[in-house]
Amino acid sequence: MIFGRSKPEATPLDGIDVVLADLDGVVYAGPGALPHAVESLNRAQAEGKQLGYITNNASRTDASVAAHLSSLGLRVQPSDVTTSPQAAMRLMKDLVPAGSTLLVIGGEGLVVEVEKAGFVVTRSADDAPAAVVQGFAPEVGWAQLAEAAYALATPVEDGGIPWVATNTDWTIPQARGIAPGNGTLVSAVHTAVGRLATIAGKPERPIFDEAVARTGARAPLFIGDRLDTDIQGARTAEMPSVLVLTGIDRPKQILAAIPSQRPDYIVEDLRQLFEPYPATIVKGDRTRVGDAVVEIDGVDLRIVSEGRQIDLLRAGAAAIWNSGRAIFGFRVPERLYIDPFRVR
């Protein structure tokens, strides 16, 4: 039994026309590029793959993101970048009349897309907005969140206005570490008003549909570093996915991934996009990936042969995932989830 879409001697890039990459934790952390990311993406482009970038971070415009990526050595145009504010406007056009006034909770990246979509921006609930759109920006604080709460006080069933959030990531990687993301801010408004926002960004489908429309992809591959947003979103959008170990989620989370958050490929860094991806072979209670072999023995997941650490992680994940049992149904040796892959 082969898990995911891996094939013997095939690389993750075989048969792909567009590589769609998340940014934070995949290409960069803060202002600096992650190891091997830029050269690997440039190689993919040189070998004929079109590149596109998807970000849930609503604080910057596509042009500013493209400028940042260009400064790192990538060849990028603003049209190559799909942001969660763009996906939010894709949704908003079906929710309110053209030219409506929107209460914007966020920064420049969101304001620019609201205006490009032909809507009027307000910062006050007193201006009778037709909807609220909320996205992350470092400057968002209590005053903006309070305006959202005032505007959303009336429940939907009583005629309340729509509320679209660009994304609900709980965290955002920064150069100094992991910081609170837009999900914490959306949750603050939710707690105040008892309503749920409609989500435009990952893991929901609108941002992936927007990226496919912008790139014209027919056979895209998505690369992310988070199971709950990137990988789940790619599965929702029915495209194959790569989980790269340069960002948020670590080996422990991969082993414990629920079915909707399981990637097709697991790589240490983006150089492994070009390596033949070893087949996962299941024979009886044993699972082999490359030279790594694990065995299920009752409640124990045993290591028979270690092989490369990345192949051992792949084999352990496949064994657990294919068993139909959750990870807490096993005793898992620590060797399976040690983390030599972290780069910061």
Determine the 3-state secondary structure of 109 from DSSP. Answer: helix
Axis-axis angle for helices 84-92, 108-116 (nearest 10): 40
The helix (H) or strand (E) run that includes residue 64 is helix 62-71
Give CA–CA dist 242/37, Å, rounded.
Answer: 14
Axis-axis angle for helices 142-151, 182-193 (nearest 10): 40
Contact 9, 274 (CB under 8 A): no
Q: Answer yes or no: 230 catalytic.
A: no
Give CA–CA dist 287/194, Å, rounded.
Answer: 47
Give CA–CA dist 327/319, Å, rounded.
Answer: 10
Q: Answer yes or no: 62 catalytic.
A: no
Task: Report DSSP state, residue 327.
Answer: G
Give CA–CA dist 245/171, Å, rounded.
Answer: 16
Q: Pick the closest to residue 266 from 223, 303, 234, 235 (CA basis).
A: 223
Look up residue 271 and give its two tokens.
Answer: 């150089």
Which among 14, 17, 24, 291 is annotated as catalytic? 24
Which among 17, 22, 126, 230 is annotated as catalytic? 22
Alpha-carbon distances, residue 28 vs 74, 225, 228, 246 (angstroms): 12, 11, 19, 9
Give CA–CA dist 129/163, Å, rounded.
Answer: 11
Q: What burial class does residue 236 get, using C-beta atoms within 10 Å of its C-beta: 0-12 exposed, 13-18 middle, 19+ buried? A: middle
Q: Which residues does the annotation mark as catalytic?
A: 22, 24
